[in-house]
Structure 1
Amino acid sequence: MKRRTYLKAAGASGVAALLAGCTGTTGDETTTTTESTGGAETTTTQGTTTGGDEQTLTVGTYGSFVDAPSSSPGVWLKDQFESEFDATLEWQTPDAGVNHYIERALRGVESGADLYVGLDAQMLVRIDDKLDDPLFAPAEDLSRRGDVNEQLEFDPQGRAIPYDTGYISLVYDETQGEGEKFVAPETFDGLLDPEYSGALLAQNPTSSATGQAFLLHTIDAKGEDGYLDYWAQLKENDVRVLGNWADSYTAYSNGEAPMVVSYSTDQVYAKESGADMAKHQIRFLNDQGYANPEGMATFADAAEPGLASAFMDFVLRPEVQAEIAVRNVQFPATTTAELPEEFAKYAQEPPEAVTFSYDRLKDNLSDWTDAWAREFASK
């Protein structure tokens, strides 16, 4: 499965302690091994080692943005960018995601990259909680900044520029009904009905981006004072909470349950892969989907800040936005992109998008997730 959370699961799972290591270069791939208290971490840089005066833009991101099993935007973006700009683009895909760069900053080590692609509001909150000095610089002089959908903006400090968004929803399998089609409930309360006992696969919100988004949606639906009671009722109805999206979607694909927390673009991938569409139905609980936009930001210590800005402007072009959306199976962040008819047919947007602002997350996110973990993570 190609989803984007082979995604950030490693980056959302907590901070790995980072110590300086050694770097070896062979051909056009550089592998950096860094020692940590939990073992070795591998950071792969995909690009071409160059000499001379040609500029090199080093971009950190999550692994599946570059090397998903089927298609992903990274290789295409590298080829297109290099064909137009007198520069080389090198991808870094550290196992720990953005936490790799947080730990470097905590140790007083330079980031080693110019830009990061794949930030969300929750990551920014974690960064700002852990670091006294800025990890990213405000974006400046972007000619296409005004094309970004204002509803997707998530960084009040103007560092992270949205480039795509996904909506968290239920995906369900109509064929798992007994004698008739299985139909997912329409509301959060409906998930508690006995007929859905053991029917839902979710993800741990302390180790999964999709799991955290689903938790936040339950907080929006049930309130800060009611969400833990709601999760207790889900547990009584035998919800299965697995580690990350890949774990839960694999279990779903194997027929272990008829519903899984996933993305509302699921039918796009299903159509492309020739899957049975009856097994890829979408349900927006309460007619809502939790919006989780992704952004890109320039590191404060970037060696090539001007080239990083040029790359961000490039990514915001209508044709590039459309290509990223199709290859990353997400929605564009700009209002100017035109999606292919086939993609638009199967990518579903919710009647209402729900999301929490950076300010509300900054004041509450760790308390909410810690409270959930105390109640449910080890039980």
Structure 2
Amino acid sequence: MIAAAAASALALVAGCSLSGGSGSSSSSGNSPQSTDHSVTLVTHDSFVVKQEVIDEFQRSSGIKVTVLKSGDAGALTNKLVLTKGNPIGDAAYGVDSTFASRALGEGVFQEYQSPEGDKGPQRYAADGSHKLSAVDVGDVCVNVDTGWFAAKNLPEPKTYQDLADPKYRDLLVVEDPATSSPGLAFLFGSIGKLGESGWTDYWTKLKANGVKVVSGWEEAYNQDFSGSAGKGPRPIVVSYASSPAAEIGQDGTPRTKALLDTCYRQVEYAGVLSGAKHVDDAKKVVDFLLSEKFQAQVADQMYVYPAREGVALPEAWTKAAPLPKDSAALPADKIQANREHWVQQWRTLVQG
């Protein structure tokens, strides 16, 4: 996932409001709607949309959209799997590329190929089933506090291998891949970059070099990372390529930087749930999530990159948060076959 906590905290930095917690339900907009057309959209906790955008969609479509927030990407996926026989909604958004294979393998989604998909989202297709449509991209990358390194006269790390160098001992904080989407993406990134024969040795070196592991992004970024508002003790953190856009100083210069050689491609998807009560309207909601109007506000609202081609990013992102061009990625079927095994191996290596 693009982790729910990540978008939440970054959105708060940007002055956005995120209402509704895990398992909560909130209605988006109070415009008059036909009671014959309604869709429950199940999302992660960080789903945010400008009120005027959702209001316009509801007016023009006649569909009332109710948002049911259900935790981060992992919790959302688990809930969708557990309730697939009696789905808790009609459509879902927020299952990401680290969990998509599980949702697809469990039959959570039904086939629907949105006409908006050929505007770019299908380049991020999870597989060939046409059951998930890419809504946004939020690559997970190591971030550094550039001011900290300048003050210490220490060169910034650039690669995965650099993080295991003794000169960066006790400087890195990461999230637990068993409990955190960015933590899982960082683990996958190390496997993608270093191979199945090299990643275990790499994590052994990271452990020896004093890596700190915490349960989730919010703790890592807002408490341990020195470059955030929390002013923690560690200047290197696993976060997102977009994170520096939230750390721009009054002089217009970003205070942090994403290391683009350490990124893992993370995509968030939407789809129509199998067994949905309002299938036709759910399809229109998926179309809406891929539409230019919705896509144009995802960077400001959720600190992610739009999946649709030709959608401009905020001006500040050009310098502070460019979309990585060479992120690591693993095939969905490989993730599905190995996810639990890799996480267990990681636990044995790092926590055992």
Query: Of the candidates 65, 82, 103, which is equivalent to residue 103 of structure 1?
Result: 82
Q: Distance in 2 between matches of 1:88 and 1:150?
A: 27
Matches within 5 A, 1:68-83: 72-73=48-49, 75=51, 77-83=53-59
Provide the residue aligned with 1:14 in structure 2.
none
**Identity between Structure 1 and Structure 2 (%):** 22
1:206 Cα shift?
A: 0.9
Query: Of the candidates 37, 44, 66, which is equivalent to residue 90 of structure 1?
Result: 66
What SS does structure 2 have at the residue aligned with 1:336? coil
Task: Sort the Cα spacing of 1:320 and 1:344 in 2 relative to 1 into closer, same or farther, 3 A.
Answer: farther
Q: Distance in 1 between matches of 2:241 and 2:281?
A: 34
Q: Distance in 2 between matches of 1:353 and 1:178?
A: 26
Query: Of the candidates 213, 217, 232, which is equivalent to residue 241 of structure 1?
Result: 213
Query: Of the candidates 176, 185, 193, which is equivalent to residue 221 of structure 1?
Result: 193
1:363 Cα shift?
A: 2.0
CA contact (8 A) 2:34 2:62 kept: no
Query: Of the candidates 214, 231, 237, which is equivalent to residue 260 of structure 1?
Result: 237
Query: Of the candidates 323, 327, 331, which is equivalent to residue 357 of structure 1?
Result: 331
Uncovered stretches (5+) of structure 2, i.e. residues with no partner: 9-19
What SS does structure 2 have at the residue aligned with 1:352? coil
Query: Of the candidates 321, 328, 339, which is equivalent to residue 302 of structure 2?
Result: 328
Q: Distance in 2 between matches of 1:335 and 1:4?
A: 23
Provide the residue aligned with 1:119 in structure 2.
95
CA contact (8 A) 1:159 1:297 kept: yes
CA contact (8 A) 1:184 1:259 kept: no
Task: Sort the Cα spacing of 1:364 and 1:76 in 2 relative to 1 into closer, same or farther, 3 A.
Answer: farther
Q: Distance in 2 between matches of 1:228 and 1:166?
A: 25
Query: Of the candidates 289, 294, 299, which is equivalent to residue 315 of structure 1?
Result: 289
1:278 Cα shift?
A: 5.5
Q: Distance in 1 between matches of 2:258 and 2:159?
A: 13
Q: Distance in 1 between matches of 2:187 and 2:250?
A: 31
TM-score by length of 1: 0.79
Q: Distance in 2 between matches of 1:354 and 1:7?
A: 20
Q: Distance in 1 between matches of 2:278 and 2:40?
A: 9
Bigger drift between 293-302 and 340-349 goes to 340-349
Task: Sort the Cα spacing of 1:301 and 1:223 in 2 relative to 1 into closer, same or farther, 3 A.
Answer: same
Q: Distance in 1 between matches of 2:132 and 2:286?
A: 10
Provide the residue aligned with 1:148 in structure 2.
120
Does residue 299 (structure 1) correspond to residue 276 (structure 2)? The answer is: no
| 1:152-183: CA deviation from partner (whole Å, max 9, x where unpaired) | 22233221100100111121112324854454
Task: Sort the Cα spacing of 1:291 and 1:178 in 2 relative to 1 into closer, same or farther, 3 A.
Answer: closer
Aligned length: 330
CA contact (8 A) 1:175 1:278 kept: no
Query: Of the candidates 14, 30, 35, which is equivalent to residue 53 of structure 1?
Result: 35
TM-score by length of 2: 0.85
Query: Of the candidates 24, 28, 34, which is equivalent to residue 44 of structure 1?
Result: 24
CA contact (8 A) 1:119 1:160 kept: no
What SS does structure 2 have at the residue aligned with 1:198? coil
Instruction: Name the aligned partner's letter for residue 193 of structure 1.
Output: D
Query: Of the candidates 279, 286, 305, which is equivalent to residue 255 of structure 2?
Result: 279
Uncovered stretches (5+) of structure 1, i.e. residues with no partner: 10-30, 32-40, 66-71
Q: Distance in 2 between matches of 1:185 and 1:86?
A: 52
Provide the residue aligned with 1:342 in structure 2.
316
CA contact (8 A) 1:4 1:328 kept: no
Task: Sort the Cα spacing of 1:51 and 1:192 in 2 relative to 1 into closer, same or farther, 3 A.
Answer: closer
Provide the residue aligned with 2:11 in structure 1.
none
What SS does structure 2 have at the residue aligned with 1:297? strand
